[in-house]
Amino acid sequence: MFDLRKQARQLENELDLKLVSFSKLCTSYSSSRDGRRGDSNSDTTPLLNNSTQDRMFETMSVEIEQLLAKLTGVNDKMAEYTSTPGVTSLNAALMHTLQRHRDILQDYTHEFHKTKANFLAIREREDLLGSVRKDIETYKSGSGVNNRRTELFLKEHDHLRNSDRLMDDTISIAMATKENMTSQRGLLKSIHSRVNTLANRFPAINNLIQRINLRKRRDSLILGGVIGVCTILLLLYAFH
């Protein structure tokens, strides 16, 4: 049992050192990526550094997983020893020691998986941002002809959209005017029928009504001409 506890403490010390170095590696990876994010003159060095850090990450991950597996095996052997019938009198103390080693193993395992997950998340985020920045730089470095063509397309699209909006407004005004004129037409018909009734009864009024009708037709023609000219001008402005 003494040899097993010695092995467990040795593995725990090694794991503690490895996890500290592993955490520093992940922190330095994040800091180095943040420091180089705005540097456009070091295109080769960052790639080399990132590749080296990735290899170190993979190597240290394997080493820590092997140490965790060894420590798990030692704890299992200590658990088997505590179940031996000959050590019943010392079972309580041994179980306390075994539980302490198990807690340490659990803490180290949790810390390792947490640090590893953070490293992978940072690397994935940086790779995604690097891809986006590369696409932006590629777009910015495109030929002037393509940029000019895109600008013209955008302007033409805005012009068409404005023309479409103006046409919708014109149609809305025309529909409202039509409804208003239809309403007025019904009202005028009603008034006209009443006036005709009075004119048939009084011949003197009939002459006056005829003059009014002539003036009304003339006003209608003038109003129709004005509306037609305004509509034509609006259409010309919309498609200009």
More confident call, 222 vs 239 = 222
End-to-end alpha carbon distance in the chain: 96
Q: How far apart are CA 96 and CA 7, in angstroms?
A: 17
Are the beta carbons of 11 and 72 closer than 8 angstroms? no
- Of the pLDDT bands very low, low, confident and very high (cuts 50, 70, 90), residue 44 is very low
pLDDT the model gives residue 147: 65
Tokens at 54, concatenated? 């990735």
Q: Which tens digits make up the pLDDT trace of 162-183?
A: 887 888 788 888 888 888 888 8
Least confident of 11-20, 45-54, 109-118, 221-230: 45-54
CA 180/CA 172 separation, integer angstroms:
12
Q: Following CA atoms 82, 88, 91, 92 in sequence, which dihedral angle do they give, to the nearest 10 degrees?
A: 160
pTM of this prediction exceeds 0.85: no
Residue indicated by tokens 């103006």:
166
- Residue 45 confidence (pLDDT): 42
Give the residue-averaged pLDDT of 3-11: 83
Structure confidence at residue 51 as a pLDDT band (50, 70, 90) = confident
pLDDT surpasses 70 at 65: yes
Whole-number pLDDT of residue 47:
41
CA gap 231, 238 in Å, rounded: 11
Per residue, the 3-state secondary structure of 151-162, as one string, reads HHHHHHHHHHHH
Q: Kindly tell me if the per-residue pLDDT of 192 is higher than 50.
A: yes
Give 93-122 pLDDT, tens digit per residue. 777 777 888 888 888 889 889 888 888 888
- In three-state secondary structure terms, 141 is coil
**Confidence band for 32, pLDDT divided at 50, 70 and 90:** low
> What is the reported pLDDT for 48?
40
